[in-house]
Amino acid sequence: MTEKSQPADDPVLSVRDLTTEVATPEGRRVVVDRLSFDLAAGETLCIAGESGSGKSMTALSIMRLLPEPMARIASGSIHLAGRDLAALSGREMRRVRGADIAMIFQEPMTSLNPVLSIGHQLTEAIRVHRPMPRGEARALAVKALSAVRIGQPERRLQQYPHELSGGMRQRVMIAMAIAGRPRVLIADEPTTALDVTVQAQILELIRTLQKDFGTAVILITHDMGVVAEMADRVIVMNGGAMVEAGPARQIFHAPAEDYTRMLLAAVPRLGASQTVSDLAPPPASSVPDDTVVKVSDLTVRFDIVGGILRRPVQRVHAVEGISFDVRRGETVALVGESGCGKSTTGKALLNLVPWDGAIVIDGAATAGLGRSAMKPIRRSIQMIFQDPYASLDPRMTVGELVAEPLTIHGLASGSELTDRVAWLFNRVGLSPDQMQRHPHEFSGGQRQRVCIARALSLSPKIIVADESVSALDVSVQARVLALLQELQDELGLSYLFISHDMAVVEQVSHRVAVMYLGQIVEMGSRAQVFGDPRHAYTRRLLEAVLVPDPDRRHGAFPIADSEVPSPIHPVGQAPARLAMTDIGNGHFVAG
Amino acid sequence: MAAYLLRRLIQAALILLGVTFITFVLLYILPADPARQIAGRSATVETVENIRQQLGLDQPLYIQYGRYLEGLLHLDLGRSYLQKTEVATLIAARLPATLLLMVGAIVCELAIGLSMGLFAAMRRGGRIDQSLMVVSFVAVSAPQFVVGILLLYVFAVYLGWFPIGGYGTFSHLVLPSITLGILGAGWYSRMMRSSMIDVLRQDYIRTARAKGLGPTTVMAVHAMPNAILPIVAMIGIDIGYFMSGIVVVESVFGWPGIGQLAWQAIQRVDIPIIMGVTLVSACAIVIGNLVADLIAPLIDPRIKLR
């Protein structure tokens, strides 16, 4: 490695006036606009920006992995160790990729080839640049897996990607990237698809490997928490161009540009809402019929069949006996990591999955109700999903989409329907003129507004918001959250807010339930759970949250080798139910 | 795995039982009279009635079907009415020719279809892509007897490269295989093209390129196994199409397989042969599907047989 390292003042990578264009039906569009920067050896440069800022296109341009011929580098140079990558032939560039400059991608679930073993994919990455016998490459692959703290590396080599969790797969990706000892590692949103505790581990890993190997890292992210945690220097991008560049402290503490200030202001911060309480308290009355949703002992299990007779042999214990209630005008958050059962709980509330236990929605028990019996109850409870792109039928106009629930329930027709839809559009901050347009003509945030309008159309008592702002840029996310808040204040709506994001949860919820492996481990008011977390898992979740402030870095975070325990058990072996203890004022902790 | 196989075999037995029942009933309600066919036009009413009693055709349906099933249990497919030979012997004599033709057709459709689809996907939107898709469209829509006669005329009669008909050498096999496989080749080229285009968009292809792998390795090692998966399942279904195509193709090329046997038997209402050929075809389809399902997990480790 030492022969590759360079004097600190001499940049490893030097990008000058990089301009990348994409061909669209309307003509060429510049997606990276005359971008220039230097990357010093051993440095971490974060490129931050919202979707469409050109940050990923910059990475793909440097790697020369643009989706040609639709996208191409129009002008500029990318100098790596004295060579201009932009001018290399395809064959020459292949020798650079993976050897001098490597990349890890956002989606660990789809970035590994599903039909090839981990061993094949790792040794291939090694042997393509350094021809050597298979056995030798395997030994190096084992070393690479150990370097990314994967236990039992020999066994892992035999496994296929689907047998590993997201965090493990991302470690394999990192192992693959560093196996060639590159001078530059480009990480494009490497932790965005991962749970917070896993995110902290992956970032720690990148940091350690960087120290050990002296690799220069370009980290591309939309998450200002990640930027603060990792960056030596920061480039803020917007609309393809650089807005501002500078050392991390300067960007966070003394941003020069309005855009940077706006971006930082929109980031939800843990602890911010405890001092500035912009959250109106829920109506104080505790009249019994104030309860909008009451869930008792909710259990959802999915069978895994096997054997000759295809009888259930195993069960996924997705939700295991949870109880909570939501009162009028109240936001209750279900928070937890992927696979903890929070989304399944939301679906059970709408009878979208089979469940056991008792659910009472606005006074009506929904256990065992069929489609027609459930229909009137669905007027009281509506859902907003995570992906505003996938949850709107692309062939319908947004006006039709918002009107559909009203038509299905026979609540309005003709001009009355049009008026009602127009009112809803106004209410969620869209113009009724846009009713005739189709979903693809809207941005992500606008689409989520359409989804909110659709959910509101039936004047429900409660809306289940399943990761409803997770896919949105922070600035858009802040505005959508504000809209949800307004609607609650105005209409007395209740929300069941399902999220993995602790900072957002703290910002919006009155009460919080932390879920782990299908059970609630801690439940209480926002102040109780965030201010006085009692359960070890709650603490772990809170510790893993990154703070958008380079002076409050985590530093070392323990890298666990273990996978999350599985909620799958053989039939007849239910996991132990946790007993909840009230430690005062409705603060429940699993014992 | 053993449980899976056992369940599939039980399923297969039930399917075959159903096939025999449906075929038997259809042949029973058919207005054609096999006894009359055997006796000939000039035979007296008594002779015909005699033959009918001899063959047990005067019995009610359930007794006839019961007898047939009883025979099947002893692996006895019955005797041909006209050829006075065991149906099993007749089919066994002709099955190798048909299997050879089917293997030839599968090789043809895979070789032609997959390579066409692959090239079209790699040159997506270009001239090669467009012309290949026109070719595949023609292949899919051309009736087999037309393709067979056209190939015979051009390559056997006009150019003289291949024999006009018959059976025995490799060159006899070429034209019938292409005729039988061309329809599948047309379908496969389209499936392979769309499957490949889809795979080439996947993140893992980008990962492979980011490692510095060359285009050949990316295509052959990373893209092909993923793209071919949906097609493997199709090959099992294909055998069913082949069975219907074989009757036509064997007639056009004078290929001595079970297709010809079936064609002759249908003309003469030789019920035991029709039943036997139908049963063998159904077996081929069932086995073809089972093999396709067993191959899939070898390509894709995510597929678990249970």
pLDDT above 70: residue B306:
no
Put simply, the answer to whether A114 touches B301 (Cβ < 8 Å) is yes
- Rg from Cα positions in chain B: 24
All residues at 6 or more sequence positions from A27 whose CB lies less than 8 Å from its CB, including other chains: none
For testing contact with chain A, the best of B207, B295, B299, B300 (most A CBs within 10 A): B207
Please give the pLDDT value at position A457.
Answer: 93
Number of domains in chain A: 2
pLDDT of A121 > 90? The answer is: yes
Q: Is residue A107 part of a domain?
A: yes
Report pLDDT digits (tens) over A320-366: 999 999 999 999 999 998 888 999 999 999 999 999 999 999 989 99
Q: Predicted confidence band at B56 (pLDDT cuts at 50, 70, 90)?
A: confident
pLDDT of A524 higher than 90: yes
Asked if B198 reaches chain A (Cβ–Cβ under 8 Å), the answer is no
- Same domain? A343 vs A221: no
For the stretch B116-133, pLDDT in tens is 999 999 888 888 889 999
**Does B294 reach chain A within 8 Å, measured CB to CB?**
no
In a domain, A382, yes or no: no
CB atoms B204 and A112 under 8 Å: yes
pLDDT of residue A2: 41
Chain B touched by A394 (CB under 8 Å): no
For residue A537, give the CATH number of its domain.
3.40.50.300
When pLDDT is averaged across residues A412-426 and rounded to a whole number, the result is 92
CB contact under 8 A, A176 and B211: yes
Does position A286 have pLDDT exceeding 70, yes or no?
no
Q: With an 8 Å Cβ cutoff, is A31 touching chain B?
A: no
Interface contact B306, partner A, CB < 8 A: yes
Q: Are residues A162 and A90 in the same domain?
A: yes
Confidence band, pLDDT 50/70/90 cuts, at residue A14: very high
Q: Which residues of A touch B222 (CB under 8 A)?
A: 113, 116
Q: Quick one: average pLDDT of A416-439?
A: 92
Contact A160 B222 (CB under 8 A): no
Domain co-membership, A197 together with A123 = yes
CB-CB contact of B83 with B269 (8 Å): no
Yes or no, beta carbons of B210 and A63 under 8 Å apart: yes
A335 φ/ψ angles, rounded to the nearest 5 degrees:
-125, 145
Interface test with A, best of B204, B216, B218 (most A CBs within 10 A): B204
Specify the CATH superfamily of domain B99-299. MetI-like (1.10.3720.10)
pLDDT value at residue B213 = 93
Model confidence at A6, pLDDT cuts 50, 70, 90, reads very low
How many Å apart are CA B46 and CA B53, to the nearest integer? 10
Grade residue A162 by pLDDT with cuts at 50, 70 and 90.
Answer: confident
CA distance linking residue A270 with residue A274, whole number of Å: 9
The range of the structural domain enclosing residue A42 comes to 32-265
Shortest Cα distance, chain A CAs vs residue B43, angstroms: 56
pLDDT digits (tens, 9 = 90+) for A131-150: 999 999 999 999 889 888 88
Residues A352, A211 within the same domain:
no
Q: Give yes or no: residues A244 and A307 share one domain.
A: no
pLDDT value, residue A81: 85
> What is the mean pLDDT of the segment spanning A181-186?
92
d(CA A574, CA A569): 7
**Is residue A144 less than 8 Å (CB to CB) from chain B?**
no
Cβ pair B207:A105 closer than 8 A:
yes
Residue A7's pLDDT is: 45
Q: Are residues A186 and A129 in the same domain?
A: yes
Q: Which range, of A284-293, B177-186, B213-222, averages the lowest pLDDT?
A: A284-293
- Amino acid A165: pLDDT: 82
Decide if A98 and B212 are in contact by the 8 Å CB cutoff: yes
pLDDT of residue A279: 56
User: Is A65 in contact with B204 (Cβ distance < 8 A)?
Assistant: no
> What's the whole-number mean pLDDT along residues A225-246?
93
Q: Are residues A186 and A101 in the same domain?
A: yes
Report the gap between the CA of A117 and the closest CA in chain B (Å): 9
B interface test, pick of A92, A308, A310, A568 with most B CB neighbours within 10 Å: A308
**A259 Cβ under 8 Å from any chain B Cβ:** no
Q: Tell me the chain A residues in contact with residue B295 when contact means C-beta distances shorter than 8 Å.
A: none
Task: For chain A, say whether B209 makes contact (Cβ under 8 Å).
Answer: yes
Helices B87-122 + B127-141 axis angle, to 10 = 160
The C-alpha angle with vertex B104 and arms to B98 and B105, in degrees rounded to 5, equals: 90
Which residues touch A101 (CB under 8 Å, ≥6 apart)?
A13, A62, A63, A80, A85, A182, A183, A184, A185, A186
- Residues A204, A127: one domain? yes
Q: Hey, are the CB atoms on A173 and B207 less than 8 Å from each other?
A: yes
By Cβ distance, the residue of A113, A124, A308 closest to B6 is A308
Of all residues in chain A, the one with the smallest CA distance to B125 is A69
pLDDT, tens digit (0-9, with 9 covering 90-100), for B184-193? 899 899 999 9
Using an 8 Å CB-CB cutoff, list chain A residues near B226.
113-115
Residues A49 and A193 grouped into a single domain: yes
**Contact list, A128 vs chain B (CB under 8 Å):** 211-213, 217
| Tens of pLDDT, residues A472-492 | 888 888 889 999 999 999 999
pLDDT above 60: residue A277 = no
Whether B212 and chain A come into contact, CB under 8 Å, resolves to: yes
Q: How far apart are CA A19 and CA A222, in angstroms?
A: 21
Q: Looking at residue B74, what is its pLDDT?
A: 85
Task: Tell me what pLDDT residue A561 has.
Answer: 63
A94 contacts B213? CB cut-off 8 A: yes
C-alpha distances in angstroms, A448 versus A468, A479, A502?
Answer: 8, 11, 21
Does residue A207 contact residue A556 with C-beta atoms inside 8 Å? no
For residues B109 and B82, which has the higher predicted lDDT (pLDDT)? Answer: B109
Q: CA-based Rg of chain A, rounded to a whole angstrom?
A: 26
Integer Cα distance of B65 and B20 in angstroms: 9
Report if residue A440 sits inside a domain. no
Residue A169 forms part of a structural domain: yes
Residue of A94, A111, A115 with shortest CB distance to B214: A94
Does the CB of A305 have a partner CB in chain B at under 8 Å? Answer: yes
Cα angle value B100/B71/B239 (rounded, 5°): 25
Which stretch of A537-541, B17-21, B34-38, B110-114 has the lowest confidence by average pLDDT? B34-38
Report residue A424's pLDDT band, with 50, 70 and 90 as the boundaries.
Answer: very high
- Sort out which chain B residues have CB atoms less than 8 A from A91's CB and list them: 214
Residue A281 has pLDDT above 70, yes or no: no
* Mean pLDDT confidence for A410-436: 91
Task: Please tell me the predicted confidence (pLDDT) of residue A4.
Answer: 43
Whether B11 contacts chain A with CB within 8 A: no
Quote the mean pLDDT of chain A: 88
- Which comes out higher in pLDDT, residue A36 or B79? A36
More confident residue, B199 or A281: B199
Token pair 């990607």 in the structure block, residue: A161
Q: Which of A63, A68, A115 to mutate to test the interface with B (most CBs of B within 10 A)?
A: A115
B168 inside 8 A of chain A by CB: no
d(CA A494, CA A490): 11
Q: Residue A564: its pLDDT value, please?
A: 66
What pLDDT score was predicted for residue A584? Answer: 84
A164, part of any domain: yes
- What are the start-end ranges of the H helices in B56-86? 61-73
What does A167-182 look like in DSSP terms, one character per residue? Answer: HHHHHHHHHHHHHT--
Tell whether A12 is covered by a domain. no
How many angstroms separate the CA atoms of A177 and A415, rounded? 60
CA–CA gap between residue A28 and residue A139 (Å, rounded) = 48
Q: What is the pLDDT of residue A544?
A: 85
Q: Same domain, yes or no, for A120 and A248?
A: yes
Q: What is the pLDDT of residue A283?
A: 54
Give A45's DSSP letter.
Answer: E
Q: What is the pLDDT of residue A5?
A: 43
Residues A232 and A300 in one domain: no
- Asked if the C-beta of A179 comes within 8 angstroms of chain B's C-beta atoms, the answer is no
- Please report, for chain B, the start and end positions of each structural domain, with discontinuous segments joined by +: 99-299
Out of B6, B211, B301, name the one closest to residue A124 (CB).
B211
Looking at the fold, whether A311 and A167 belong to one and the same domain comes out as no
Percent of chain B at pLDDT above 90? 22
Does position A288 have pLDDT exceeding 60, yes or no? no
